[in-house]
Structure 1
Amino acid sequence: AARGIGAATARRLAAEGARVLVTDVDGEAARATAAELPGAESVRCDVSDQGSVDAAVAYAVEAFGGLDVLVNNALGPVAPDRDRFEDEPEEGWAVQHEVTFLGAVRCARAALPHLAAAGGRGAIVTIGSVNAEADFGNHAYSAAKAGLASLTRTLAGDAAARGVRVNQINPGTIATRAWEGKEEGLAALAERVYPLGRVGTPDDIAAAVAFLASPDASWITGTVLRVDGGLLAVNRHFREVLGD
């Protein structure tokens, strides 16, 4: 949560009065982000290690007296895209499964008993991707994000009886650090494929997280919410072809 969507979400939740634990495999970056937020704490957390996850959850419960919301936002290193499926190296599949998918499993496993004790306020919000729903390349990343959507639905059924809601957000292209220095490319992409005329920002996703974590979403669970500027609803390229 030290950068990008995670940092924006931490800022948004803190602004709405939440006490936030900022976690990241980069402990220094987590501390720097937490230092900007009122009442926030930070801890280094490696979601590929259940012990590290358990310790982070225990820290939050001890520091804040309980746990109301878990935001799953960890992402394994994304390898360069491959043109052919068989060219995707096995290590690329392994790291996405281990960090992106199993990382969310580990966090939910550790947090769920505490979320269930939150008196009906417990919520899990997982960050997925539109890659889970359509072919945008990068097979391992896309498969891991699709796995998260299935996890969200199955976990929602289990957690509902304990008063915990579980939802997912599937963002489109977000202008994070990975896109720095690509202003011209971003503008061209927005004009070409996004019906709303721009790519998203981390704050767009943070706003959706804040909603799904709030009492305003108290009757929403098992939902995968697209926050994608209309990308998957409107096939701009196909419409252009039909218009030619």
Structure 2
Amino acid sequence: MADDDVAEGLGSGPEGGPGRRFEGRVALVTGASRGIGLAIARRIVAEGGSVAVTGRDPDTLAEAVAGLGADRALGVAGKADDAGHRAEAVARTVEHFGRLDHLVNNAGINPAYGPLSGLDVGAARKILEVNVIAALEWTRDAVAAAAEGTAGTAAGLRSVVNMASLAGTTSAANIGFYGVSKAALINLTVQLADELAPATRVNALAPAVVRTRLARALYEGREEEAARAYPLRRLGVPDDVAGPAAFLLSDDAAWVTGQTILVDGGASVRAAW
């Protein structure tokens, strides 16, 4: 389970320095004031790129931009499912950097915890709006804006990465409708990959439990016990997801589209996680 809001710290992710795969490229990462989104933005900047990042809290977002470097990062605060915010973020990205090459649909929510029998229908609708419909809208807006660019510099949107979840591939106790939304996002990835080819590649990542604020209810107070469910014997940290995201965004994945990669510490090789 993963999304925008938080890391308890990046932790000890993969070793080795980054290359320069994003030199001269621009990415828009939603829900990137903390956690997985911020880790992805950091990876892109470390590999020579520039980023526009979004988040709900202006102060937290400003801290993220300062950490990324004001010369390489732009922050646009707002809610992922707000049409006005989406339009502003995409337009400001292209205006500021002159192009838009990559999109990461990382923003997501899960305001409901418990069995589906007690699920509030209003919460279910909100989950779908943010986790699925907003991802579609961000993608459509980014494709249109990237095609226009400014001063003829844009080459069009090259790639999209959607942040799904292992919960979208199997039954997940107490976060069932979150899993339903992520299953829909996985299928949306397939549909968009077909429709937007060959100009734009669209892939997804499906993390298991990553140490973020959104996932805290799944491990807080029992992290050692939770980690035993994983063959790699630890929960994920945001950097564990940032590396695969960078791969899928980059030209290293030039012949990969419509795929969902599990980033799960081996959880999916077992019958339960």
Residues 86 and 177 of structure 1: CA distance in aligned 2, closer, same or farther (over 3 Å): closer
Query: Between Structure 1 and Structure 2, whose CA radius of gyration is higher?
Result: 1
Give 1:242's aligned residue: none
Q: Could you tell me which residue of structure 1 aligns to residue 38 of structure 2?
A: 7
Question: 206, 222, 227: which one pairs with 1:170?
Answer: 206
CA RMSD of aligned residues (A): 2.0
Letter of the aligned partner of 2:231 in structure 1? Answer: P
TM-score by length of 1: 0.89
Q: Is the 8 A contact 1:69 1:123 kept in 2?
A: yes
- The 1-side partners of 2:178 and 2:196 are apart by 26
Instruction: Give the 3 Å change call, closer, same or farther, for CA 177–49 of structure 1 in structure 2.
Output: closer
Gaps of 5+ in 2: 1-31, 149-153
Q: Among 123, 135, 147, which residue is 1:104 paired with?
A: 135
The higher-RCO structure (CA 8 Å, 6+ apart) is 2
- Say which of 113, 122, 135 aligns to 2:171: 135
- Following superposition, the deviation at residue 106 of structure 1 comes to 1.4
Post-superposition Cα deviations, 1:130-182, rounded to whole Å, max 9, x if no partner, equal 01011112222111111100100000011113x110000000010113539x6
Structure 1 runs (4+) greater than 4 angstroms displaced? 115-118
Query: In 2 relative to 1, CA 210–8 (structure 1 residues): closer, same or farther, beyond 3 Å?
Result: same
Matched residue SS, 1:11: helix
Q: How does 1:48-197 map to 2 (within 5 A)?
A: 48-82=81-115, 85-116=116-147, 118-119=154-155, 122-137=158-173, 138-161=175-198, 163-178=199-214, 179=216, 185-191=222-228, 193-197=229-233
Matched with 2:16 is: none
Structure 1 residue runs without a partner (length 5+): 238-244
Measured in 2, the distance between the counterparts of 1:171 and 1:61 equals 30
- Identity across matched positions, percent: 37
Instruction: Output the CA distance in 2 between the equivalents of 1:10 and 1:169.
Output: 15
Q: Secondary structure at the match of 2:222?
A: helix
SS at match of 2:142: helix
More helix by share: 1
